[in-house]
Structure 1
Amino acid sequence: MKLWLRDETKANERRTPLTPQDTQKILDAGIEVVVEESNDRIFKTEEYKRLGCKIVPAHSWKDAPKDYVILGLKEIEDDHLFYHHHIYFAHVFKGQSHADKILSQYKKGGGTLYDLEYLTNEEGRRVCAFGHWAGFAGAAFALDRFYHKKANSSEFPALDSYPSIETLFERIQAHKDEPKVQPRAIIIGALGRCGNGAKELFNKFQVETTLWDYPETKAGGPFKEIIDHHIFVNAALITKPIEPFLTKELANDNQSQLEIIADVSCDPNSDLNPIPLYNQHTSWKKPFLKTELSNELEIMSVDNLPSTLPRESSIDFSSQLTQYLIEFLTQKNELPTEFANARDVFEKKLSEV
């Protein structure tokens, strides 16, 4: 099989699942790589061209021969029927409102979706994820918003794509005006990739942080302990219906200290949303949704937070994915376990459409 790295269409998306450094490893394995031109990708198209990749116009994957595997990152916003093997984060397996439409496009086209979220090993663990950087950025902007809210009443500035972590730290420090109240934060899902990323950020700024994971939540919510904190980062992976972590009634308690929620897991229109206080994603331009709950509680639900640190997050993700991608593209008879698991999830969901 051959590989086709497509351009992304989602606004503010500068990440890539495959860096030039790891593209070289794929070429060294004897695999042909085609790369679409991109004005947004954090790595310049010329870097891929110098390696010997064929460069083609953006969004031309629809006309690619069927022996190409189409590799991307975020959802494809298109009515095109899917004939190819596709690898990307589709967000269609948890009851999302657009799921049936996308799956129907695969069913009619005969293509296969290998969702990056469902590339799992024999123990069922994901083998590649942006989780660390999602948690890191989610905690960063939650803390930034807390400081900004205390320091002034102006509109919170839009998110941006930062060339380095240090640039992001400078933004937070600029809004930190020694507020009288130092924040306390709680992370649910603290032991996973997202949770560890959030913890790293809070440690950097010496934020007092409560760390919860499955042992603390297995009894079922809602949890009053959440409203004893100023910032709540939801980094939990939810795979089956549960009682919500937080309800409107609890969030509106007059004893609540909760001001900021960073919903890093970010499934607002899913049946599995453990924070049923809202039902929409927020944007880079307006990252926080203002509510009428106690403390004018605000919620951030941006679904591509790692793209605020596109270089670091792409390097990390690509390094995780590449070895499995090579195994998949060079397999002769049997799919590698990780891709077989992703295919099985896809076929099960496809049968339900």
Structure 2
Amino acid sequence: MLKIGLIREGKQPPDHRVALTPFQCRWIMQRWPQIQIMVQHSPIRSYTDEEYQQAGIQVVEDMQDCDVLMGIKEVPIDQLIPGKTYFFFSHTKKKQPHNRLLMQACVNKKITLIDYECLIHEDGQRMLGFGFFAGVVGAHNGLMAYGKKTSLFDLPRAYTCRDLQQLTESYYGIKLPPLKIAITGSGRVAAGILEVMGLLGIKDITPGEFLINEYQYPVYTQLKAGDLYLHKSERSYSREHFHAHPYEYECKFLPFTTAADILMNGIYWEQGMAPLFSWDDLCNPHFRIRVIADITNDPGGSIPCNLGDSTIDDPVYGVDRCTRQKLPPYLPHTVDMMCVGNLPDELPRDASRYFGEQLIKYVIPELLQPDSPILEKATILQKGKLTPRFCYLEDYAYGS
């Protein structure tokens, strides 16, 4: 019998998502009788203890009896159970400084750490993620911020809506002013952004049209990696070469800073990739962008004026374009930043259901295999020791 435990989220600010919904838990145990699922008591989870109990799922406090523990966000160090196998988004594969102590605690407690972010298909695409709902909420929040900054329209907060359907209903009767939105990326996040564009009837135009024309209605253009990056000497773009040698490419986004009113950033970023623009560009009087929804949210990454996370309660802050100071939002001379790190938590029930569907499709069957190359590739730590694929983390995981 494989015992899977759904742990409550302990990171602050609180997160309300869960890896599997009550119905999904029941379905798994009916489909695979050799699996038993238990849920740790939580007063904040978007699916209540009572909903799990009604689905026939045992709600407990102690997770010691479980073989595999599944969460969403990073697990607080004092809540880690030694010797267990954990699934969660650890945010350690890029040597994120704020999670180094977490990584070292997992080493010391001889934990097997499997990171959702590292579960990938053969072509390198991620199997799991909340990117779609990050895109939906991020796009909504970006538009909400622009409406508040200009006083031209008003959108409700996403988290006040029961689910995506109610958020969609909040768009009825909303008439947006003429505005131009630049969207970067082509993955799950971008798909979520495009969902909102469609719901609001915002017209899609080509990048070339976006740069030279003005419109009497709202428009957007989508800029994929091939539209944004160019090899410095070859003057071409190759996805494989770009990801292997990002420092050899320059970014072509700069002209859009003088054409767009809103930037919705959904592009993947890693160390070595050129930012979309520089601080000096931000200070240019022709810089037109007034709101940036940095949905991928990499401080020090593709958006230089990302000065750190905002929160669901307080999602927007202003940045003085020339002094680089963090200021209150909606001032005339600032660019307003929306940099919430847990955007899908504004629609936690929909996001959890979507995530659980992917988990059932791609991961649960692998747990029943004696050997799974998919899980092996995603395992950062095996009983507290770095696996060969992640040996580059040695100084991060073992160093003082």
TM-score when normalising by structure 1: 0.87
Question: Post-superposition shift, 1:126?
Answer: 0.9
Separation of aligned partners in 2, 1:275 and 1:70: 35
Rounded Cα–Cα distance in structure 1 between residues aligned with 2:160 and 2:75: 21
| Corresponding residue for residue 278 of structure 2 | 247
Aligned equivalent of 2:224, options 210, 213, 235: 213
How is 1:111-190 mapped onto 2 (pairs within 5 angstroms)?
Answer: 111-151=111-151, 160-169=159-168, 179=177, 182-189=178-185
- Distance in 2 between residues matched to 1:326 and 1:223, nearest whole Å: 41
Matched, 1:340 2:376: yes
Mapped pair 1:53 → 2:91: no
CA distance in 1, matches of 2:304, 2:296: 13
RMSD: 2.5
Q: Please give the residue correspondences for 1:22-101 in structure 2 after superposition, counting only pairs within 5 Å.
A: 22-28=24-30, 29=32, 30-57=34-61, 60-61=62-63, 64-65=64-65, 68-79=67-78, 82-101=82-101
Code of the residue aligned with 2:184 in structure 1: it is: I
Question: Partners in 2 of 1:204 and 1:225 — Cα distance?
Answer: 28
Counterpart for residue 239 of structure 2: none
Question: 2:273 corresponds to which letter in structure 1?
Answer: I
CA separation of 1:287 and 1:97: change in aligned 2, threshold 3 A:
same
Tell me, in whole angstroms, the C-alpha distance in 2 between the residues paired with 1:53 and 1:169.
Answer: 32
Q: How big is each residue's C-alpha offset from its partner over 1:180-231, in whole Å with a ceiling of 9 and x where there is no partner? A: xx22111110x21110110111222233111111111222226223312011
Secondary structure at 1:98's aligned position in 2? helix
Which residue does 2:233 correspond to in 1?
Answer: none
C-alpha deviation, 1:240, in angstroms: 4.1
Mean CA deviation greater in 343-352 or 281-290: 343-352
Structure 2: distance between partners of 1:159 and 1:97: 31
Give secondary structure in 1 for the equivalent of 2:141. helix
Counting only pairs closer than 5 Å after superposition, residues 194-209 of structure 1 correspond to structure 2 as 194-207=189-202, 208-209=219-220
Q: CA deviation at 1:147?
A: 1.4
Q: Choose the corresponding residue for 1:19, options 21, 32, 35.
A: 21
Pick the structure with greater CA Rg: 2
Is 2:188 the counterpart of 1:193?
yes
| Cα shift at 1:278 | 2.8
Q: Is the 8 A contact 1:147 1:177 kept in 2?
A: no
1:65-114 deviations in Å (ceiling 9; x for gaps): 4x521100111223455531110111111131223211111111111111
Contact preservation (8 Å) 1:120, 1:339? no
1:223 aligns with 2:253: yes
Contact in 2 for aligned 1:159/1:284 (Cα 8 Å): no
Q: 1:326 aligns with which of 357, 364, 374?
A: 364
* Cα gap change, 1:121 to 1:344, in 2 (>3 Å): farther
- Residue 338 of structure 1 aligns to which amino acid in structure 2? I
- Contact 1:158 1:287 (C-alpha < 8 Å) held by counterparts: no
Conserved 8 A contact 1:86-1:111: yes
Question: Which runs of 5 or more structure 1 residues have no equivalent in the other structure?
Answer: none
Q: Taking structure 1 as reference, are residues 166 and 121 closer, same or farther at Cα in structure 2, changes over 3 Å only?
A: closer
One-letter amino acid of the structure 1 residue matched with residue 181 of structure 2:
A
1:52 deviates by: 3.2
Structure 1 residues 96 and 161: alpha-carbon distance in aligned structure 2, compared to 1, 3 A threshold: farther
* Number of the residue aligned with 2:350: 312
Partner of 1:284: 312
Whole-Å separation in 2 of the counterparts to 1:80 and 1:311: 24
Asked if 1:297 corresponds to 2:325, the answer is no
Partners of 1:206 and 1:128 in 2: CA distance: 29
Q: CA deviation at 1:344?
A: 5.2
Give the Å deviation of 1:144: 1.2
Q: Compute the displacement of 1:23 (Å).
A: 0.6
The sequence identity of aligned pairs, in percent, is 25
Question: C-alpha offsets along residues 240-272 of structure 1, whole Å, 9 cap, x if unaligned?
Answer: 42111121111221112101111111121xx6x
Structure 1's 319 and 178: CA in aligned 2 closer, same or farther, altered over 3 A?
closer
3-state DSSP of counterpart to 1:297: strand
Give the Cα–Cα distance (whole angstroms) in 2 for the partners of residues 218 and 210 of structure 1: 16
Paired amino acid for 1:260: V
CA contact (8 A) 1:158 1:285 kept: no
State the 1:166 CA deviation: 4.2
Task: Tell whether the 8 Å contact from 1:222 to 1:247 is kept in structure 2 after alignment.
Answer: no
C-alpha separation in 2, matches of 1:173 and 1:95 = 44
Change over 3 Å in CA distance of 1:39–1:79 after alignment to 2: closer
SS at match of 1:15: coil
